[in-house]
Amino acid sequence: MAIIYIENKPYQAPEGKNLLNACLSLGFNIPYFCWHPALGSVGACRQCAVKKYRDESDTRGQIVMSCMEQVAGGLRISIDDPEVREFRASIIEWLMANHPHDCPVCDEGGECHLQDMTVMAGHAYRRYRFKKRTYANQELGPFINHEMNRCIQCYRCVRFYRDYAGGRDLEVFSAHDHVYFGRHDHGTLESEFSGNLAEVCPTGVFTDKTLKKHYTRKWDLQSAASVCVHCGLGCNTLVAERYGSVRRILSRYNGAVNGYFLCDRGRFGYEFLSSAKRIRRAAKRNSASGAMEPADKKIILRSIKEIIAGGRVIGIGSPRASVESNFALRRLVGPDNFYSGMSAAEEELTALSIRIMKSGCASFPSLRETEKADAVFVLGEDVTNTAPMLALALRQSVKNRAAASLKKNRIPEWDNGSLCVIKDEEPGPLFVASLLPTRLDDAATRIFRGSPTQIARLGQAVAHAVNENLPAVSGLEQAVAKLAEEIARELTEASAPLVVSGAGCLSGPVMEAAANIAAALAAVNPRAGLFLALPESNSFGLGLLSGKPLDQAFQRAEKGEVRAAIILENDLYRRSEKKRVDRFREQCRHVIVLDFIDTATAAKAEIILPTAPFAEADGTLVNNEGRGQRFYRVMDPEEDCRPGWRMLAEIMEYAGIGDAGQWTTIDDIIAGLCAEEPELQGMREIAPPAEFRIYGQRVPRQPHRYSGRTAMKAHEDIHEHKPALDFDSPLTFSMEGFRSGPPPSLIPFYWSAGWNSVHALNKFQAEIGGPLRGGDPGIRMVGSSHKNFEYFKPAPVTPTPGGREYLLVPYFRIFGSEELSVLSPSIAGRIPGNLLLMNESDAKRIGAGNGSLVRVAVADAGASLAVKIDPGIPEGVAGYPAGMPGVEFMNLPAWGAITEGG
Amino acid sequence: MLEEIEMREIDEDRARCHNTRAGMIEALKIVQRRRGWISDDVLYELSAHLGVPPGELDSVATFYNLIFRKPVGRHRILICDSVTCWVMGEEDLKRRLSEKLGIAPGETTRDGRFTLVPNACLGVCDRAPAIMIDDDLHTGLTPAQLDAILGRYE
Ligand code: SF4
Ligand code: SF4
Ligand code: FES
């Protein structure tokens, strides 16, 4: 810490940081545009000027850009000096010379950084009276709206899109006063992170197109903290609602998880909430006609009670249901009858990853910490498509070499202009070993393509090269052996090496090899990390509840030991072969489905009870790193919908099971859970209990400028409706309450006086870009204090079958492979067709070309798909679009036959 | 279509450059030298040849006012509008040029003979005001000299 003087008063500030960051962290207000905490400084907009003085006797001072100054002991500055104030006012005046001043019709209005900075800089009256330049806007696809006239040329958009996120189709064109930010031509923005433009752009140029469809000003939005449900990383989100429908998702800053950003699946997937596939009413099958008919919940509860009384009831949980809901189901049916509902491979890999984490074989960095790795080896995962934000983090990691050489030359880390100049000169190292081409290939130093067995063998060879006491891999091709040496060398020499793997190629040996490498590295370097991605939002949490594999439920049904199955938020057709699920359905007399979307499984249920999706429910999800995170409902569930756990508690109460009658709030369930699972004690600490109050007050979900509340239901009733009550959290559905500084896990939106945009976040962080005041929310549930890791033995090489067999491997797509987000219309617009990826010579061999229909058959399943020839695919391998809408489940990877013709 | 010779020149140049991005400007100049300007078609071909997205290439092309993204006349007149030339009578010169040619800066005469482009500094402040036609510099000019000079360019 250094002492610096601001307006002649001493303050402590971290040495070497940039001055703008330090001043904002100290609570001062300095307007800025081109600087962004995640993007660093370029000193381009000149808005953040302050005056710097040589020493105490210097009275004239010199105007400098605070974002380009380094904090050093004795630094003296003034923010308030009249000359520099005038300077800042004039800067914003010229930045805005061409700005159309169309706030009333601008989607950014009311949460606009430009508005805030204009007020802050004191540019109150416009003097520019001439013709303004105008632009044609572009059609940029389903996510982002473009309105170029509002641009103030801060360059943040291209710096984020191109330099930070690695996108290559957003550019800046021209010069002078007619610079243009957009694509070369109309067309969908290709980056998986394009939605962040809406938050990064300080004006209304790039805005959220899905919000536009049902636009509401920020001050009229009711919001709550939530957690993304669309992959296993658990990015934190802010969900905003008006008139009973969710209007948009913003990134909720978590310094340990997603930082400032989200991926487009996470940001735009929310539209599934209003999809036609939503289930909102309880229904029962008419035994005579066979049709599903809405029924009174009481009647349904009575039927369920009877079914339960009949015995032989099992429960099937789900990795997309909260810990609480899964636990409630386990309590309802009893631990012996509780099945996780994951596919065999998912189940095995989830358990394996939890076991590895518990073994403490290496350090397990948070998502955000992976940005700091300086050598990365990815095994078997196309991270952009399975754990998107991890790809964004790894794209930062490849700049760390360049950053280190800047440091050597005494150039500060935040000097982004310098970093961008040299970042491509010494990129990486990032090694990607995958089944098929990945979206991270362009950032990779070297790529290895092979089957899961080959990837595992490469991994084991790397582990051996790191620690020669580990078994050598025999019979490696020379090129592979050389690659293993190189990877091992880079990882060993790095100061924070990182090994990434996961469930992406559905192979245990690959994950084991990754663990071996990380453990071998960690034996000599405690910073060596392992990051294992898991497929779903609560895979890990479900894994902690020790449910039995789905296959065992099927086996039990086979033996006639299942009379009734209660299936929680799970479409079994995504988890197992159609034949087997069909058979299971026939073997169960009764099937009760609790879900919020109408799935193939729900379509065959006898009883359906509608549960509430994340926006209408509270619960806990445990992400891939074992971090338990609470999400809060932003509105009360409508019609018959209830959070899964509440619905199950109602059933238990009605059926008189256990102490369920006492389960009225989420806190009761968590207490019940902690009593049964001492390992999950952390659940209590994730968020404050419902009775938590600040000065006796709750935390409001609505901003204090929330308008129209009294008239919201005027079409139904002239009286103002009573706000819904919340017994599960300290939040309230109201504007009233305590609004400054709620505990981080509760923050429903960011706002601070003078800061209406997303940058209000500055006021909630202990240090800008660092953890939130009070610590980043979430608790890691699995400790690894005790080391008890035993190296995995390399898996035996499975013989390659002869004849016409192909190795079918799954591929996943950010837009397409996830069950819920594909129901969102904006995401649906981005789903590629269901294509079988093949190498050209393989396709030729079976007489197929691009687009020809082929038949794929493995042991228990088959499908007809169109072929897409992809030169990046190894011979003898074919990529199967696992989990995409309308694609049948196959237990992959597997050997199978591909024949011409559907 | 890019011609064989253009591609060869571009590749030779690229070999000298630090990275592809650095080679983009030269590649644009090589193509423009033979064709006068960079059409969309040429831009796409060039981007494929260099292996960079068209947007990246166009970003460079549109930044420089001497890379032409619209057809230009047979002769390009660059008129210096930097401070020194302005002090020494650039405005007068520009007005007279515009009148004579019947075009505003940035435009091309109907007969396709001249394109008039303002330019920030031709680097001859000591001999201001200056214009440059194609590769020839004309300095210390008065409006009266324009007729004779323009006459030399058919
Ligand atoms: S479009 Fe937005 S982010 Fe990009 S330069 Fe303009 S104001 Fe800045
Ligand atoms: S990376 Fe995963 S958790 Fe994060 S926003 Fe995207 S889908 Fe959601
Ligand atoms: S924020 Fe410092 S110059 Fe732009």
DSSP characters for A783-802? ---S----PPPPPPPPPPP-
Q: CB-based contact (8 Å) between A184 and chain B?
A: yes
Tell me the backbone φ, ψ of residue B9, rounded to 5 degrees: -60, -45
| B131-139: Cβ within 8 A, 24+ apart | B131/B77, B131/B78, B131/B79, B131/B80, B131/B93, B131/B97, B132/B77, B132/B78, B132/B80, B133/B75, B133/B76, B133/B77, B133/B78, B134/B75, B134/B76
Distance, C-alpha A51 to centroid of its chain = 41
**pLDDT score of A521:** 97
**pLDDT score of A719:** 87
Q: Give the Å distances, CA to CA, from A743 to A138, A747, A778.
A: 41, 7, 12
| Dist. CA A659–CA A310, nearest whole Å | 20
* Cβ-based neighbour number of residue B16 at 10 Å: 9
Cα–ligand 2 centroid distance for A231 (angstroms)? 5
Report whether A568 contacts A329 (CB < 8 A): yes
CB within 8 Å: A169 and B62:
no
Contacts of residue B19 in chain A, CB cutoff 8 Å? 424-425
Peptide bond into A429 cis (omega under 30): yes
Q: What's the CATH code of the domain at A89?
A: 3.10.20.740
**pLDDT score of A252:** 98
ipTM of the complex: 0.91
Contacts of residue B58 in chain A, CB cutoff 8 Å? 171, 173, 184
The answer for residues whose C-beta is within 8 angstroms of residue A354's C-beta and 6 or more apart is A540, A543, A544, A626, A782
| Dist. CA B118–CA B106, nearest whole Å | 7
Task: Give the CA-trace dihedral at A23, A27, A31, A37, to 10 degrees.
Answer: 70
| Alpha-carbon Rg for chain B in angstroms | 17
CB within 8 Å: B59 and A171:
yes
| B112-124: pLDDT as tens digits | 999 999 998 899 9
Of the candidates A622, A737, A626, A726, the one whose C-alpha atom is nearest the C-alpha of residue A666 is: A726
The nearest CA of chain B is from the CA of A811 a distance in Å of 26
CB within 8 Å: A184 and B62:
no
DSSP helix/strand/coil, A14? coil
Identify whether A134 is part of a domain: no
* DSSP conformational letter for A356: H
Q: What's the CATH code of the domain at A647?
A: 3.40.50.740
Q: Give the Å distances, CA to CA, from A137 to A134, A147, A177, A651, A792.
A: 10, 6, 17, 55, 56
| Dist. CA A500–CA A505, nearest whole Å | 12
* Cβ-based neighbour number of residue A665 at 10 Å: 20
A504 plus A377 within the same structural domain: yes
DSSP helix/strand/coil, A770? coil
CATH architecture of B4-63: Orthogonal Bundle (1.10)
Minimal Cα distance from B55: which residue of A? Answer: A184
**pLDDT score of B154:** 87
Give the CA angle between residues A862, A348, A578 to the nearest 5°.
25
Report whether A686 contacts A344 (CB < 8 A): no
The DSSP result for A36-103, as a single string, is BTTTBB---S-TTEEEEESSTT--S-EEEEGGGPBP-TT-EEESS-HHHHHHHHHHHHHHTTT----G
A406 plus A519 within the same structural domain: yes
CB within 8 Å: A184 and B63:
no
* DSSP conformational letter for A236: E
Q: Which of A173, A179, A186, A425 to mutate to test the interface with B (most CBs of B within 10 A)?
A: A173
Of the candidates A696, A608, A157, A23, the one whose C-alpha atom is nearest the C-alpha of residue B55 is: A157
Q: CB-based contact (8 Å) between B54 and chain A?
A: yes
CB within 8 Å: A168 and B53:
yes
* Cβ-based neighbour number of residue A177 at 10 Å: 11
- H/E segment holding residue A120: helix A113-121
The amino acid at residue A376 is V
Extended beta strands in A451-518, E state: 497-502
Low-confidence ranges of chain A (pLDDT < 50): none
A518 plus A608 within the same structural domain: no
The CB of A266 under 6 Å from ligand 2? The reply is: yes
Report whether A240 contacts A223 (CB < 8 A): yes
Count the helices and strands in chain A (H runs, E runs).
24, 35
The DSSP result for A500-559, as a single string, is EEESTT--HHHHHHHHHHHHHHHTT-TT-EEEEE-SSTTHHHHHTTTPBPHHHHHHHHHT
The nearest CA of chain A is from the CA of B70 a distance in Å of 13
CB within 8 Å: B55 and A170:
yes
Q: CB-based contact (8 Å) between A426 and chain B?
A: no
| Dist. CA A79–CA A81, nearest whole Å | 6
**pLDDT score of A421:** 86
Q: Which of B44, B46, B59 to mutate to test the interface with A (most CBs of A within 10 A)?
A: B59
CATH superfamily of B75-151: Glutaredoxin (3.40.30.10)
DSSP helix/strand/coil, A739? coil
**Best of A36, A52, A65 for a ligand 3 pocket test (most atoms within 8 Å of beta carbon):** A65
Count of structural domains, chain A: 4
**pLDDT score of A786:** 63
**pLDDT score of A279:** 96
**pLDDT score of A735:** 94
For residue B129, the number of C-alpha atoms closer than 13 Å in the C-beta half-sphere is: 25
Report whether A366 contacts A528 (CB < 8 A): no
Report whether A260 contacts A776 (CB < 8 A): no
Report whether A325 contacts A645 (CB < 8 A): yes
| Dist. CA A554–CA A314, nearest whole Å | 11
| Dist. CA A33–CA A198, nearest whole Å | 15
Identify whether A889 is part of a domain: yes
Distance, C-alpha A790 to centroid of its chain = 32
Report whether A550 contacts A567 (CB < 8 A): no
A599 plus A485 within the same structural domain: no
A373 plus A503 within the same structural domain: yes
Examine the fold and report which residue of A657, A672, A687 is the final residue of a domain before the chain moves on.
A687
Low-confidence ranges of chain B (pLDDT < 70): none
Length of chain B: 154
- For residue A557, give its domain range: 309-345+541-687
Q: CB-based contact (8 Å) between A86 and chain B?
A: no
Length of chain A: 902
Q: For residue A29, give both structure tokens.
A: 């207000």
DSSP helix/strand/coil, A449? strand
* Cβ-based neighbour number of residue A450 at 10 Å: 18
Contacts of residue B65 in chain A, CB cutoff 8 Å? 175
The amino acid at residue A417 is G
Instruction: Give the number of the ligand closest to the Cα of residue A151.
Output: 1
Examine the fold and report which residue of A474, A494, A527 is the final residue of a domain before the chain moves on.
A527
CB within 8 Å: B55 and A183:
yes
For residue A433, the number of C-alpha atoms closer than 13 Å in the C-beta half-sphere is: 30
Identify whether A29 is part of a domain: yes
**pLDDT score of A784:** 65
Hey, where are the domains in chain B? 4-63, 75-151
End-to-end CA distance of chain B: 28
The CB of A437 under 6 Å from ligand 2? The reply is: no
The nearest CA of chain B is from the CA of A209 a distance in Å of 23
Examine the fold and report which residue of A654, A687, A720 is the final residue of a domain before the chain moves on.
A687
The amino acid at residue A684 is R
A513 plus A547 within the same structural domain: no
Q: For residue A485, give both structure tokens.
A: 């040496």
| A18-66: pLDDT as tens digits | 999 999 999 999 999 999 999 999 999 999 999 999 999 999 999 999 9
**pLDDT score of A100:** 94
A584 plus A507 within the same structural domain: no
Q: For residue A91, give both structure tokens.
A: 């800067």
Q: CB-based contact (8 Å) between A320 and chain B?
A: no
Identify whether A619 is part of a domain: yes
Identify whether A272 is part of a domain: no
The nearest CA of chain A is from the CA of B151 a distance in Å of 33
Q: For residue A548, give both structure tokens.
A: 């039995």
